[in-house]
Structure 1
């Protein structure tokens, strides 16, 4: 089980353009209206090294071109899993040239079509994206503090088996979030 620690990236023009400030207290699902940046980062757990070859092969396998935008968006997802499209736009725009949000959405669609990324709905807002090779987990979202805890998908094996036996339904539990209260917020 992995508890995600929320962070905030500095905006362009800050003293340290691309650094991550891990002492921030931004809730990982950013429930407050108007929040423009909500990105979870694994401290040293996610690496974008070696992604260029995988990216090119996967895109070409489904007939898609490798573009600079797709490369930048994929690298941003590798660095910042569970990021919304808006947060990914801000992240990729820490570097020049700027990429419009519509291009980020198109890149996300292409990356998902190629099987490189998946999305999850952690709340009733925008989906969050992560690499497909990091997708086999459940998302436990605390309604009180907004913390997102990852748990192996295997903890839901009995539920998946019961749904299959009783209803003939093949559930994908990695695409959903389970809401409740974390250990720190329970009375």
Structure 2
């Protein structure tokens, strides 16, 4: 999205076009999944005199207008991305914190449909896949003196681990002690 696109998006959302709003959209476009502090720092570098609070206010306004989307992956500060009104999930590395978008699987997704919605009108289901990225696996293997492919295999579905590439962990019933 370019500056003219940002301008029309702001106007389309009924928001005034301001330098802090344009700069914030540009920063999030260039650096998706950044936290508010990193965005504020970059906006201040780009514009000079703008307060951290002003950038936080802009982030909230842009999220309320659905131009930005908050991404929460638990245990980390809120991160932001351009709200594309698509349906995608996220991959997060447990080692370095890298966060990546991943398209949803096509077809029926029974795990995204609750058995009992308790009267809620479901608006969105967020999925976060946690694991270890290839760079961290390679660094770990190198530190252990192993070739990256020689790292010990991890059983699919193990809690707190990753499944082999291209597979999803198997759902297992809880084990009784």
TM-score range, shorter chain: 0.5 to 0.7
Structure 1 residue 141 corresponds to structure 2 residue 141: no
Q: Structure 1: where are the runs of 5+ without partners? A: 1-47
Distance 1:167 1:72 in 2: 43
| Secondary structure, counterpart of 2:129 in structure 1 | strand
Taking CA–CA contacts closer than 8 Å with sequence separation of 6 or more, which of the two structures ends up with the larger relative contact order?
1
Given candidates 53, 73, 77, the residue that maps to 1:102 is: 53
Match status 1:90 vs 2:41: yes
Deviation at 1:134, TM superposition (A): 7.2
Cα distance in 2 for residues equivalent to 1:99 and 1:179: 36
Q: What's the CA shift for 1:63?
A: 3.5
In the alignment, is residue 172 of structure 1 matched against residue 121 of structure 2?
no
Local SS of the residue matching 1:133? coil
Partner of residue 159, structure 2: none
Residues 36-88 of structure 1 deviation map (CA, whole Å, 9 limit, x = unaligned): xxxxxxxxxxxx42x43x43344334442111110100111111100101000
Partners of 1:121 and 1:177 within 8 A in 2: no
Deviation beyond 4 Å, 4+ runs, structure 1:
none
- Partner residue, 2:143: none
Provide, for residues 94-148 of structure 1, a one-character-per-residue CA deviation record: whole Å limited to 9, x for no partner: 2242321101111111111222110101332321111011763211212233232
Pairing of 1:5-44 with structure 2 (within 5 A)? none
The answer to whether structure 1 residue 160 and structure 2 residue 109 are counterparts is no
* RMSD (Å) for aligned C-alpha atoms: 2.7
- Matches of 2:36 and 2:112 in 1, distance apart? 29
TM-score by length of 1: 0.59
Q: Larger Cα Rg: Structure 1 or Structure 2? A: 2
Paired position in structure 2 for 1:35: none
Match of 1:71 in 2: 22
TM-score, normalised to structure 2, is 0.62
Aligned pair count reads: 134
